[in-house]
Amino acid sequence: MRKFLKIGVPVVILLLALLFWWRFFFVFGEGVKAGNLNFLVKKGYVFKTWEGRIIQVGFKTPAPGSMQSNEFDFSVANDSIGAILERASGKTVELRYKEYLHSLPWRGMSNYVVFEVLKVSDTEPVSILPY
């Protein structure tokens, strides 16, 4: 029984640590999103994080026959990136992000965490179609 406890307890602790890392720190994917920055706010009771949303060009339809704007909710854990985005409200931005399986309170409320701002530009005027 003692031999089982000496081997079994460390194995269980190691498996739990590996599971915790996989659920909260494993980067599931990375990518770039571009769109108009709708809002960016700094909020939280204990851990203050930046939460924002960009509205992408185009529409997605969750159900046939409906129309809905394509929104991307994200978190920013770095204050310097939050300050850059705070001054870019209403502009077109390109953001590089990491996707995690679950969120952590000090990382933000979203599974998508922005870690780099690639480009900030004024919104392009809408062109008039010839028809």
Average pLDDT over residues 22-51: 91
| Band (66; pLDDT cuts 50, 70, 90) | low
Can you say whether residue 77 is alpha, beta or left, with left for phi > 0 and alpha for psi between -120 and 50 degrees?
alpha
Q: Supply the pLDDT for residue 57.
A: 78
| Band (60; pLDDT cuts 50, 70, 90) | low
Domain spans in the chain, listed from the N-terminal domain onward: 27-121
Closest C-alpha among 73, 78, 82 to residue 106: 78
What pTM did the predictor assign? 0.76
Closest C-alpha among 72, 76, 71, 70 to residue 103: 76
CATH topology of domain 27-121: OB fold (Dihydrolipoamide Acetyltransferase, E2P) (2.40.50)
Q: How far is the CA of 91 from the CAs of 10, 63, 67, 86, 119, in angstroms?
A: 52, 29, 23, 10, 10
